[in-house]
Amino acid sequence: MKLLDDFYSIKQATGEGTNFDYVLSLNQEHFIYKAHFPENPITPGVCIIQICKELMELHSGERLSLKKIHNVKFLSIIDPTAVDAVRVSFSKISAVEEGYKVSVLVHSETAQFAKLSLYLAINNEQ
């Protein structure tokens, strides 16, 4: 399920090469938040991982699939009603035989939400 332009939108993109950032706006009216949880919306961890994959696809220009999650630390919740902008910062990107190994920090001006190390494989299937 693609989340870009429905669950979140890109407000700003900066950087190039192996260090780049995306500033996102979350759609607090999205049906995912109505289920997770109606009176206290929390961005699900699986959505955070999917967002990172989609942004890496956008940056690389290639279709990718999640091959392995090396490490994930969820540090604090992302409440879309309390956070105006979420920054997704990519660093330590390295090309590996089948795709990319990336380190990602999901944060705002005042908080860190998640740290991720992902292996993303190039998906040549249509």
Structure-block tokens of residue 75 = 């540090």
Taking the C-alpha atoms of residue 13 and residue 124, their distance in angstroms, rounded to an integer, is 26
Can you tell me the mean pLDDT for 19-31?
96
> How many Cβ atoms from other residues are within 10 Å of residue 43's Cβ?
26
pLDDT of 125 > 80? The answer is no
Q: How confident is the model at residue 118 (pLDDT cuts 50, 70, 90)?
A: very high
How much is the pTM? 0.94
What's the N-to-C CA distance of the chain in angstroms? 15
| Beta partners for residue 115, in sequence order | 73, 105
Mean residue pLDDT across the chain: 94
Residue 54: left if φ>0, alpha if ψ -120 to 50, beta else—which one?
Answer: alpha
Can you tell me the mean pLDDT for 95-118?
96
Taking the C-alpha atoms of residue 69 and residue 117, their distance in angstroms, rounded to an integer, is 6
Can you tell me the mean pLDDT for 54-61?
95
Q: What pLDDT score does 124 carry?
A: 78
Can you tell me the mean pLDDT for 87-100?
93
